[in-house]
Structure 1
């Protein structure tokens, strides 16, 4: 992956430079003196101490590097699936722009047994297509509803068998055929090439939140959700790992119980997380950056193109100057599926306009959605309330979720959403 970072060889150069600086500060000249016979004992001891310190620091740094590098799990099965179908994949259009598919897995395996019985499968509880602009001045995170009805290509399943192409819920791809099938599905209905992917499970999400010291949220009402295992008071508060996970998972106990509202809440939470990282200078503080990298590398499964510490570090540091107002969150334009109001379908041409903007690295404008919960019409459980009437856009006159609401400069539409600048407590 090309992110503008320095090659691994620069680490050795930095160590050599550090040795020179420490040696000079300790009084050890780079060139031997003309009369070295009467060197003072204290100077020798100081120089020796400095040398030991440098060597220890170099050894410790290398050990930490190796530890972080060893944390990362490489998803080679997905790489093979994508390579097998490379001829069918869309081409990248804008050099240096990146599209990363973020997949939140609801797997109960590993350390996630507390959240339910391990069935041996996993679903994409949350899926976000993250577009990073070529100049790294902006990022657009597009949530994809799990109940969106899409064309899923024939894919290789974990047992080696081949599934048939089908028209089904988006969630089917990850549950039965893994990340490779999910990526190919996204590429098929968006036309956007996915450059990288990351899979994060429940435990990983908690670790990342804790690594940044918690994330601030504002609750208009108390939350008591036994299924999500979370109880929270109303008001402004900082959520840490377990409570943060319960908050973004909770559905029926908050607001109208819709997946639409839950996705909006997840986006607001991620906005607050981004703002926390930026405002606290995490990316500029080596110690705190290490904690974050340790949590991330211990928690993710990713493609070979991101499966090194250097790649992840370069990716993170390439975004450290990105303004919070440039980090945008929205949901793919969709409405209740015509044959089943409990499912979703894409709204056209709004969806195609959004995907074209991402493909060509054009800016995407988001509209405030403070009143969205009140403006939205009744939806089915797939993305809306439990009433299941599926009359989105008919009772209140509001457009389907994610539909462009206003034309912007140069004909670019605006979409309902939020930014990291807005966050959850603004």
Structure 2
């Protein structure tokens, strides 16, 4: 998305203004300040008044929402409420040379702190599943602000790492973004047949469309799957890596229809904090990442082990403390050498760090 956002500035004249206006108003911004007790949050660094994000690391809460209404309901099946199937913390180093994305298993057993919603307080919960924070917030408050507030409160309480903003993406956004880039090329070691996710894929090389990619990201049960949320997290990370490869292998800056379709899909699916609610802010962050090479974009799952009372649940190990401590100190996080075993591979992306777009002279991350 960062690459494509820079492409907005390849347009000139009235068409550019119309596109800019459309993208700006596609993004839904929500403010959870009214649901925040600053005294209980990790301390924030003093910002530079001219560049609030300049010279400091950023930690961004990423949530994939399991919304089941409207078009999302047609994909996932109509159901009341909203849940978070996927939660990640993205760390952008202060020198803008590293991006680390840490996944948190939804089945992690943790102690959740109390949190504020628009309809009162959710009490603290002992030995609860991590993704219950989002669900409790939504069920009590009935809005996305409450759900995100409880999730952010949980993350900051468990990690002592302050979140500088958040982004929530839904089913349809993911599906449409994949279609906008012409699909995601992957290789499967074995076939996968998951009826509940409307997914039936052969083994071997193939290009997934949006519906198939979303099904692969959501599926847990069926042929070729073991029912594990951890395996699903690994597949989600593999898919994001494959999407990055696909975007980097295409020059969206010279394909105006594809660029517009991708940006429209991406921005329409986003609910974000005010810090990331405008095209200039997002593009500024994108341009600041021009030093990041593909090998310095790291996907990792927080270290876990089986929960003794229930083998279908997990708990964080002591190694998780080092991950969060390093993130807070802006030190590279330790990377697991464990092989994911998802059976998915994708072409290596071209390393475009530091390259210059032919059409604009803009450095593209």
Q: Under a length normalisation based on structure 2, what TM-score does the superposition of the two structures give? A: 0.81
Q: Quote the offset at 1:419 in angstroms.
A: 11
**1:8-407 residue pairs with structure 2 within 5 A?**
57-76=12-31, 78-82=32-36, 85-92=37-44, 95-157=55-117, 160-167=119-126, 168-177=128-137, 178-253=147-222, 254-282=224-252, 285=254, 287=256, 288-348=258-318, 350-370=319-339
Shift of 1:171: 0.9
CA distance in 1, matches of 2:91, 2:38: 21
Question: What secondary structure does 1:366 align onto?
Answer: coil
**Looking at both structures, which has the greater relative contact order when contacts are Cα pairs under 8 Å and sequence separation is at least 6?**
2
- Return the alpha-carbon distance in structure 2 between the equivalents of residues 201 and 291 of structure 1: 17
Q: What secondary structure is seen at the aligned counterpart in 1 of 2:177? A: helix
Q: After superposition, what is the alpha-carbon deviation per residue over 1:157-189, rounded to whole angstroms, capped at 9, x for unaligned?
A: 45x132111121111111120011101100111
User: Greater shift after overlay, 298-307 or 309-318?
Assistant: 309-318
Which of the pair has more CA radius of gyration? Answer: 1
Query: Contact 2:67–2:83 at 8 Å: present in 1 too?
Result: yes
Superposed CA offset, 1:231-282 (max 9, x none) = 1111111111101100111112234331111111111111111222223244
How far apart, CA to CA, are the structure 1 residues paired with 2:306 and 2:335?
22
CA distance in 1, matches of 2:227, 2:190: 13
Residue ranges of structure 2 left out of the alignment (5+ in a row): 46-53, 138-146, 351-365
Distance 1:285 1:316 in 2: 18
Which residue is equivalent to 1:33? none
Deviations 1:175-227 (A, max 9, x none): 12001110110011111111111111100111121222211211111111110
Q: Distance in 1 between matches of 2:236 and 2:342?
A: 14
The farther-off stretch of 303-312 and 359-368 is 359-368
Q: What corresponds to 1:52 in structure 2? A: none
Please tell me whether the aligned partners of residues 325 and 420 of structure 1 are also in contact (alpha carbons under 8 angstroms). no
1:41 is aligned to none
SS in 2 for 1:156: strand
Q: Deviations over 1:128-184 (max 9, x none)?
A: 1111112221111111011111222222345x1321111211111111200111011
Distance 1:365 1:271 in 2: 19
Partners of 1:164 and 1:370 in 2: how far apart? 38
Decide whether the 8 Å contact of 2:306 with 2:315 is kept in 1: yes
Aligned residues: 323
Q: 1:319 to 1:286 in 2, by over 3 A?
A: farther
